[in-house]
């Protein structure tokens, strides 16, 4: 047993852990040792089209407050005003926790980012942003394609989505699993039943069920081991809300050394057609607090981690008739990590003058979202951009990351 290699460990687990039900923690560590120093990419998706113009406010634009008479974020210095970043842009006051990341140069902002596709359909735009291919819908997602190929057998937990389902962006040839709640039991019935079921799934003629079945049984073993210990975030990090719970679970997987390489967490509820001011404030508080808590919890490990946030498109520059905004175009992306050249904003600002707007109403897109993701995928994960984003030519680097 002392000379247990990773390969033989994995071969063994397949045969015997099923009977034991649970793998001892140290055994998993052995398996994960080789992977501990791996780079990790975390993608956060704000579903429903978050209002980027109120998240990161271009307060230097004269037209900003005129376009949004009742919902504009007040300028820095005013009561409940934005948090000045660089004399041009300000964070929404509820994003206060992110200021520290900006100041310590671990947060970069890319405004007027998005896809060149003009759709204002949530669902088409999400599909496109998740697959990463314009005009044609692929069955697999860019995040799945960006998981590095490994020759030997790999951790069942290398690509994980937080939630009950695997989102499009994580579907594909690298098996990905969805985990909803790490505090729940991962036992699949009495051991003898589980063994029978595992055989049934591994021999099923249905490819989907065979693959997901395999993932289920492998992951259940990994998870049963790490979730036995209660998890306490480090450095007094305080996660907030359901989104915080998801990030906290990602942190738990990273610290559990289960071999995680890419993770996905989404947060819904951003489609603020009405009463935006109040709703956005609540959501951004949960969003910002939890992102900051994650960075705090990870501490030094942030050097190996890049976290990117995105949303399917932005919202109208002008407010609508119900104190909200309708579907727009360009939006803001955040990139957080220890190797990020943070404390700076990237990309060209297109402006809010009437003639500068996309189709005369929305913030234009000046940075394709694939340029941001492509740079992260190549610099951080060492992947070939052309394979992750087929059909998207390589552009000049934004210089987001230190290599």
Chain residues binding another protein by CB under 8 A are 47-48, 69, 119-124, 139, 161, 163-166, 168, 171, 177-181, 185-190, 192-194, 196-197, 200-201, 204, 206, 208-210, 212-213, 215-216, 219-220, 268-269, 271, 273-274, 318-322, 324, 326-327, 359
Q: How far is the CB of 96 from another protein (least distance, A)?
A: 27
Residues 263, 42: contact at Cβ < 8 Å? Answer: yes
Comparison of 190 and 390: residue with beta carbon closer to another protein: 190
Comparison of 93 and 175: residue with beta carbon closer to another protein: 175
Please, what sign has the CA dihedral across residues 188, 190, 195, 201? negative
Comparison of 126 and 378: residue with beta carbon closer to another protein: 126
Count of CB atoms situated within 10 Å of the CB of 301: 16
- Bridging pattern class, strands 159-162 and 107-114: unpaired
H or E element, residue 332 = strand 331-337
Comparison of 101 and 194: residue with beta carbon closer to another protein: 194
Q: How far is the CB of 359 from another protein (least distance, A)?
A: 7
Q: How far is the CB of 296 from another protein (least distance, A)?
A: 27
Q: How far is the CB of 214 from another protein (least distance, A)?
A: 8
Q: How far is the CB of 3 from another protein (least distance, A)?
A: 32
Q: What are phi and psi of 351, to 5 degrees?
A: 95, 165
Q: How far is the CB of 328 from another protein (least distance, A)?
A: 11
Comparison of 2 and 205: residue with beta carbon closer to another protein: 205
H or E element, residue 99 = helix 96-103
In sequence order, the 6+-apart residues with CB closer than 8 A to the CB of 112 are 330, 331, 332, 347, 348, 349, 350, 363, 364, 365, 366, 367
Q: How far is the CB of 171 from another protein (least distance, A)?
A: 7
Q: How far is the CB of 41 from another protein (least distance, A)?
A: 20
What secondary structure letter does DSSP report for 362?
A: B
Comparison of 96 and 134: residue with beta carbon closer to another protein: 134
Comparison of 244 and 324: residue with beta carbon closer to another protein: 324
Q: How far is the CB of 239 from another protein (least distance, A)?
A: 20
Q: State how far the Cα of 355 lies from the Cα of 48, in Å rounded to an integer.
A: 27
Q: How far is the CB of 178 from another protein (least distance, A)?
A: 4
Rg (CA), the chain: 22
Q: Which long-range contacts (CB under 8 A, 24 or more apart) does 187-192 make?
A: 187/21, 187/220, 187/224, 188/216, 188/217, 188/220, 191/18, 191/19, 191/20, 191/21
Comparison of 261 and 271: residue with beta carbon closer to another protein: 271
Comparing C-alpha atoms, which of 359, 327, 360, 330 is closest to residue 347?
A: 330
Comparison of 257 and 271: residue with beta carbon closer to another protein: 271
Exposure of 346 in the CB half-sphere (CA atoms within 13 A): 24
Exposure of 108 in the CB half-sphere (CA atoms within 13 A): 23
The CA dihedral of 131, 135, 139, 142, to the nearest 10 degrees, is -20
Comparison of 323 and 342: residue with beta carbon closer to another protein: 323
Burial of 242 (0-12, 13-18, 19+ CB in 10 A): middle
Residues 158, 147: contact at Cβ < 8 Å? Answer: yes
């Amino acid at each position: 047993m002392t000379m247990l290699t990773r390969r033989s460990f994995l071969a063994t687990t397949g045969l015997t852990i099923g009977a034991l039900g649970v793998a001892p923690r140290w055994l998993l560590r052995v398996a994960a040792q080789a992977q501990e120093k791996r780079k990790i990419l975390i993608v956060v998706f704000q579903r429903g089209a978050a209002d980027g113009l109120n998240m990161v406010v271009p307060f230097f634009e004269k037209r900003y407050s005129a376009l949004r008479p009742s919902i504009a974020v007040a300028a820095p210095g005013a009561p409940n005003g934005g948090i000045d970043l660089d004399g041009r842009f300000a964070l929404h006051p509820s994003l206060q926790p992110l200021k520290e990341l900006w100041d310590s140069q671990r947060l970069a902002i890319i405004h007027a980012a998005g896809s060149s596709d003009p759709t204002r359909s949530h669902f088409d735009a999400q599909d496109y942003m998740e697959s990463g291919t314009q005009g044609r819908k692929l069955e697999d997602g860019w995040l799945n394609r960006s998981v590095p190929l490994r020759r030997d057998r790999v951790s069942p937990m290398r690509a994980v989505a937080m939630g009950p389902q695997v989102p499009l962006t994580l579907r594909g040839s690298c098996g990905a699993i969805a985990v909803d709640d790490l505090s729940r039991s991962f036992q699949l019935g009495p051991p003898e039943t589980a063994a029978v079921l595992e055989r049934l799934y591994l021999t099923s003629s249905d490819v989907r069920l065979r693959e997901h079945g395999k993932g289920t049984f492998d992951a259940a073993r990994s998870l049963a081991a790490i979730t036995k210990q209660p998890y306490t975030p480090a450095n007094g990090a305080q996660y907030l809300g359901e989104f915080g719970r998801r990030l906290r679970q990602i942190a738990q997987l990273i610290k559990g050394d289960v071999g995680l390489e890419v993770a996905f967490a989404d947060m819904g509820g951003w489609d603020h057609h009405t009463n935006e001011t109040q709703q956005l404030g609540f959501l951004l508080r949960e969003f910002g607090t939890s992102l900051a808590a994650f960075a705090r919890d990870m501490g030094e490990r942030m050097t190996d981690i890049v976290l990117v946030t995105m949303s399917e498109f932005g919202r109208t520059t002008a407010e609508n008739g119900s104190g909200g905004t309708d579907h727009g175009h360009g939006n803001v992306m955040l990139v957080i990590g220890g190797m990020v050249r943070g404390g700076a904003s990237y990309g060209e600002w297109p402006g809010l003058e009437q003639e500068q707007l996309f189709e005369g109403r929305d913030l234009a897109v000046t940075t394709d979202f694939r340029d941001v993701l492509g740079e992260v995928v190549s610099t951080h994960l060492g992947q070939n951009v052309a394979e992750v984003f087929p059909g998207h030519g390589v552009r000049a680097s934004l210089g987001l990351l230190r290599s």
